[in-house]
């Protein structure tokens, strides 16, 4: 069995929990390879459509820290088949993630596609980069049209990824996604209202 993502996470205590809940044999019987140390076109396309993700880092106190990262669609960039990057825009200036990865560079990401009930989980090692010292990287990661102020770049080296079960993902839609559906309906409604108005005038004998 080779299952890159789970192999890194299935510690003895996790295996014991699997066994206690009757799930250990599922993974013991897994046959073949399930490697995930390279992004394919499928993952790259999925990542390019996201406008947010959840990022978990490990603090020196042992507590995990999870934060939401948002930006323009596609702000998380696939730099190559094993590397991601994004510009770190100024926020509330707590710098928990920045401080955490200085001590332990391991991070986990969850990327959600709520309308299509899809979820991509990523394990990576993340480091901060000075944008001023790397103009090429800055050009690839920053969006001149975005209102945020970039303070640095984060570059992530992929360890493994996994596509998660969609069973309990509630479908949600953003304003632009709703507008894509409602826009044509509004146009059709306006056309029908104009047609009805013209028919009423015709029925009343007015041109």
pLDDT tens column, 75-100? 999 999 999 999 999 888 899 999 99
pLDDT of res. 147: 87
Structure tokens, 195:
């047609």
Paired sense of beta strands 52-58 and 33-34, if any: unpaired
Give the pLDDT band of residue 30 (cuts 50, 70, 90): low
Tell me phi and psi for residue 128, to 5 degrees: -85, 145
**pLDDT, mean over the chain:** 89
Tell me phi and psi for residue 105, to 5 degrees: -80, 5
CA dist 153 and 61 (Å) reads: 25
Among 23-27, 110-114, 127-131, 140-144, the minimum mean pLDDT is found in 23-27
Under 8 Å between Cβ of 58 and 66: no
pLDDT at 31 > cutoff 70: no
Under 8 Å between Cβ of 59 and 111: no
CA dist 194 and 71 (Å) reads: 40
Q: In the block, which residue shows the tokens 């200036």?
A: 93
CA dist 124 and 115 (Å) reads: 26
Does domain 36-172 fall under CATH 3.40.50.12780? My reply is no
pLDDT of res. 1: 43
CA dist 83 and 33 (Å) reads: 22
Give the pLDDT band of residue 200 (cuts 50, 70, 90): confident
pLDDT of res. 159: 94
Closest CA to 47 of 19, 65, 17, 69: 69
CA dist 18 and 12 (Å) reads: 10
pLDDT at 32 > cutoff 70: no
CA dist 10 and 18 (Å) reads: 9
What is the per-residue pLDDT across 177-193, written as a single tens digit (0 to 9) for each? 788 777 888 888 888 88
Residue ranges covered by each domain of the chain: 1-35, 36-172, 173-207
What's the predicted TM-score (pTM) here? 0.82
pLDDT of res. 135: 93
Under 8 Å between Cβ of 67 and 97: yes
What is the per-residue pLDDT across 131-178, written as a single tens digit (0 to 9) for each? 999 999 999 999 888 888 899 999 999 999 999 878 888 888 888 878
CA dist 53 and 47 (Å) reads: 10
């Amino acid at each position: 069995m080779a299952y890159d993502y789970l192999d890194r996470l299935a510690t003895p205590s996790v295996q014991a929990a699997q066994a206690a809940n009757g799930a250990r044999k599922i993974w013991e019987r897994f046959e073949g390879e399930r490697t995930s140390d390279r992004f394919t076109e499928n993952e790259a396309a999925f990542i390019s459509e996201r406008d947010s993700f959840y990022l978990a880092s490990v603090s020196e106190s042992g507590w995990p820290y999870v934060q939401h990262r948002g930006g323009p669609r596609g702000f998380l960039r696939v730099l190559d088949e094993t590397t991601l990057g994004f510009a770190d825009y100024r926020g509330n200036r707590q710098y928990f993630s920045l401080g955490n990865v200085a001590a332990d560079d391991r991070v986990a990401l969850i990327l959600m596609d709520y309308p299509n009930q899809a979820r991509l989980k990523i394990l990576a090692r993340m480091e901060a980069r000075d944008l001023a010292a790397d103009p090429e990287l800055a050009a690839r990661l920053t969006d001149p049209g975005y209102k945020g102020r970039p303070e640095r770049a984060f570059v992530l080296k992929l360890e493994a990824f996994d596509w998660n079960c969609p069973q309990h993902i509630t479908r949600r839609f953003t304003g632009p996604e709703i507008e894509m559906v409602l826009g044509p309906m509004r146009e059709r409604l306006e056309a029908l209202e104009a047609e009805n108005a013209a028919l009423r005038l015709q029925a009343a004998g007015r041109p």
